[in-house]
């Protein structure tokens, strides 16, 4: 962050109400926790790679589509599978 931007934010702190300061504090803590989690995850990944336990780290797949359950009539699928295996 540029020093000028930081100074501007610090100057604006004096104008905030207590509730706004509390919201800002919570937002800062949340951001710090996210950064710490990312740093911890990166450290674990680097250690796994360095030790030779894994060859590469895959990024998790992000699913943004909300799935809907299907209503199926009749007996449960698990029962059908059990009967077919007999």
Q: How many domains does the chain have?
A: 1
Mean pLDDT across 60-84: 84
Mean pLDDT across 13-27: 90
Mean pLDDT across 15-31: 92
- In a domain, residue 1? The reply is yes
Q: How many CB atoms lie within 10 A of CB 48?
A: 14
pLDDT digits (tens, 9 = 90+) for 26-38: 999 999 999 999 9
Is the pTM higher than 0.75? The answer reads: no
Q: Which residues of 18-32 are buried (b: 16+ CB within 10 A; e: fewer)?
A: eeeeeeeeeeeeeee
- In a domain, residue 61? The reply is no
Could you tell me if 16 and 24 are in contact, meaning their C-beta atoms sit under 8 angstroms apart?
A: yes
Q: Which residue has the higher pLDDT, 2 or 46?
A: 46
CA distance 42 to 45: 5
- In a domain, residue 77? The reply is no
Q: What does the pLDDT read at residue 1?
A: 55
Structural domain containing residue 23:
1-56
């Amino acid at each position: 962050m540029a020093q000028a931007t930081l100074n501007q934010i610090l100057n604006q702190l004096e104008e905030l109400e207590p509730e706004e300061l509390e919201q800002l504090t919570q937002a800062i803590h949340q951001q710090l926790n996210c950064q710490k989690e990312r740093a911890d995850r990166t450290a674990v990944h680097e250690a796994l790679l360095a030790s030779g336990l894994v060859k590469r780290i895959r990024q998790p797949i992000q699913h943004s589509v909300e799935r809907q359950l299907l209503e199926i009539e009749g007996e449960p699928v698990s029962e059908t599978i059990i009967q077919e295996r007999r």
